[in-house]
Amino acid sequence: MTTLDRDETRTPTVPPRPVVVGRPLPLRVAVPMAVAAGLALLVAFPPYGVWPLAPVGVALLAAAAHRRRLRAGAGLGFLTGVALFAPLLAWTNLHTGYLPWVLLSLLQAGYLALLGAATAWVSPLTDRSRWAWPALTGLLWVGQEALRDRTPFGGFPWGRLAFSQDSSPLLRLAALGGAPLVTFAVALIGGLLVTAAWRGFTAVRQTPPGGETVRRWLPVAVPAAAAVALGAVGLLVPVASAGSGAPVTVAIVQGNVPRLGLDFNAQRQAVLNNHVDATLELAARVAAGTQRQPDLVVWPENSSDIDPLRNPTAGARIAQAADTVRAPILVGAVLLGPGPGEVRNAGILWRPDTGADLSQLYTKRHPVPFAEYVPLRDVARMVSKQVDLIRNDFVPGSTPGVVRAGPAVLGDVICFEVAYDEVVRDTVTGGAQLLVVQTNNATFDVAEARQQLAMVRLRAVEHGRAALMASTVGVSGFVAPDGRVSDATGFNTREVVVREMRLDDGRTLATRLGWWPELALAGLAAAALVGAAVLRRRQRVLPG
């Protein structure tokens, strides 16, 4: 056999699979798309609640940033972030001036800038395999939210995709993997939409006139149908409509404040009196037989900004309410100490006859930076003198909000803590049978309150627990384990609502898995970024 014959019998070398690379969309198209993406995402959240627009917003940003340079992708993501967060967080501008609102909005938009850059970075992967586009989109969104939820100063999870789906079938997915799985599903649908649209655009351009219609539209129909099917898949996830345990009658007292705004602190005696008087009126209705006897009464955050453990008058008023209604009251109180110049935002159980039960006291674990405490105060003061309005820093608690109230074990979280996965989960794994969110919306507006209620709905489904939100001014209400809201109150009104709820001791798959779904999805997002780097390097060294 000759050398030529031997060469001909060798297995031919398989050339690298070519990557079809085209042009990105023109900037004159991509920029309006990025802005439209932010607006579509905005309208998906309460108070608008048009949840199907969330995946549309995801798709618009994915298309706008595809095949861009990193700087351009970051810029487009930033435009989306500003269009989303500036109006979504407008309630932070109501009583504190524009500066906190602007800074917070720009900071949150910065994370979407990172998302835009990451979307541009993984473009070679999506060009290599168009069917990878949906999964990559979902993974990058989860990774971005995992970072934003934790940095800086503990993060700010407001505006997560999952929180836009409170009325969507996808909400049920929270029972399997919590908020990260819901976010992944929303972004995955967005990825399917952009895949369908991009393939359709390519098919129209490349298919010659008179070409096969099936060949032209099949690549569009398949991802589009998959997006619709995935949107309905949540209906297959079983969730309970009520707890399976003992019934408990709970009253929410929404006492209201004399005036909305930051000076609710100056009205603290009036706010306390409002909640005491509303509870006494409830007791009178119970005595008259027109209202059932509650087993538990829940007051909101800041219902007693006068420390009832140190102020005898405040303590006497709360004791009067508890003794008259003949039920323990979970009071939202500001407590002085433990150190000089320090305060605590707490939920404390006040029992009839015996008073404050210091063994059942929860101190807020996640105070809000620049609202309840000021990190880097000297530096922050150079940005705004308003930081000195916060004279005393709230100190965080160290234990989950598991409050044993007698008839029920409560999972107490305070205000913005409902947005943090681990804070709520820790109460359930600690034995909570009923989720309670104490909040004060007197410095915000009804849009913020409804956004917060959407988070409560997700938490109820995530952990299979009945839940409630008690606010000083609204919106307060009860939430079933399937996310349905009952007896929601009006905003800036004084109301008392009473409802029988069923407790539950079970654990959903999401509760058992904890943070593992988010860790797995975020890890895959990091792996995708590394994979894109490898592919980019190979493309640079290929000959020709």
Match 């915000």 to its residue by tokens: 444
Peptide bond connecting 152 to the previous residue in cis, omega within 30 degrees of 0:
yes
Distance CA 342, CA 336 (A): 6
Neighbours of 205 (CB within 10 A): 8
Peptide bond connecting 338 to the previous residue in cis, omega within 30 degrees of 0:
yes
Q: Edge-to-edge strand order for the sheet containing 467-471?
A: 402-404, 409-414, 434-439, 467-471, 477-479, 485-486
Is 495 an annotated catalytic residue? no
Among candidate residues 415, 417, 448, 518, the one labeled active-site is: 415
Distance CA 171, CA 164 (A): 9
Is 385 an annotated catalytic residue? no
What the block records as the tokens of 244 is 């399976």
What the block records as the tokens of 234 is 């949540």
Q: What are the residues facing 374 on neighbouring strands? A: none
Cα 490 from chain centroid? Answer: 22
What the block records as the tokens of 253 is 């007292």
Cα 340 from chain centroid? Answer: 34
- DSSP of 217-262, one letter per residue? HHHHHHHHHHHHHHHHGGGGS---SS-SS-EEEEEEEE---SS-SG
Q: How far apart are the first and last CA of the chain?
A: 35
Among candidate residues 8, 145, 281, 364, the one labeled active-site is: 364
Q: Which long-range contacts does 385-391 make (Cβ < 8 Å, 24+ apart)?
A: 386/96, 386/97, 386/99, 386/100, 389/262, 391/341
What the block records as the tokens of 477 is 């209400």
Distance CA 78, CA 110 (A): 6
What the block records as the tokens of 35 is 């802005």
Is 364 an annotated catalytic residue? yes
CB 79 within 8 A of CB 36: no
Tell me the CA distances in angstroms from 310 to 272, 316, 392, one per residue in order.
15, 11, 17
Tell me the CA distances in angstroms from 59 to 28, 70, 184, 349, one per residue in order.
17, 18, 13, 48
Among candidate residues 301, 372, 417, 462, the one labeled active-site is: 301
The full 3-state SS of 341-385, as one line of letters, equals: CEEEEEEEEEECCCEEEEEEEEECCCCCECCCECCCHHHHHHHCH
Distance CA 533, CA 93 (A): 41
CB 462 within 8 A of CB 482: no
Kindly report the length of the chain. 544
As annotated, the active-site residues are 301, 364, 415
